[in-house]
Amino acid sequence: MAKERYIGTASLKVDAKGRIAVPAFCRVNDAKVFFVTYGRKRFLRLYDWEDFSKSMEVVEGLNPFDARTEEMKRALYGGSKLEMDSHFRLTIPKKLRDWAGLTGEVVVTGVSSYMEIWNAEAYEAEFAENIANLGKNMQEIAENRKEPR
């Protein structure tokens, strides 16, 4: 059976111990082990361990002498392996919570093979900008995908 993708968005609260409840749409593949790491902006990427392992294979195939590869590895591998508890919660390490500004309300959104965890206010601002540019971006992507005839 094909693996299900992470699709959906949920607003949650980070508790005093730095835990978040894993939304139902993030539990579709029965994963219990995850990897959380830095995102491109001030959000966290949350992979199930299987998908993170696949990402590691891709990264390991990149030129190890390229400075961008080193920077990407440093950020990607600077995260933490997490295990979901019996109440479907993950404890996000303080260092990562602080970097992404995760206190109080957060947003978890599925992005196919991984999830993003955002500070709620930062997510709303980013989402508003994404929606404002959606038509233009879709057009540009479509034009770049055109194959020569």
How would DSSP label each residue in the chain?
Answer: -PPPPB--EEEEE--TTSEEEPPGGG-TT---EEEEEE-SSSSEEEEEHHHHHHHHHHHHTS-TT-HHHHHHHHHHTTSEEEE--TTSEEE--HHHHHHHT--SEEEEEE-BSSEEEEEHHHHHHHHHHHHHTHHHHHHHHHHHHPPP-
The answer as to whether 102 is a domain residue is yes
| pLDDT of the residue at 148 | 58
Residue tagged 């992507």 (tokens) = 141
Domain tally, the chain: 1
Q: How does pLDDT run across 109-141, given as a tens digit for each residue?
A: 999 999 999 999 999 999 998 888 888 888 888
- Domain span including residue 110: 9-120
Q: How does pLDDT run across 67-117, given as a tens digit for each residue?
A: 999 998 888 899 999 999 999 999 999 999 999 999 999 999 999 999 999
The answer as to whether 146 is a domain residue is no
Across the range 141-145, mean pLDDT stands at 86
The answer as to whether 103 is a domain residue is yes
Q: How does pLDDT run across 39-75, given as a tens digit for each residue?
A: 999 999 999 999 998 888 888 899 989 999 999 888 8
Quick one: which of 116, 131, 130 has its CA closest to 40? 116
The answer as to whether 91 is a domain residue is yes
The answer as to whether 1 is a domain residue is no
Q: Note the pTM of the prediction, 2 decimals.
A: 0.86
Residue 87 maps to which CATH number? 3.40.1550.20
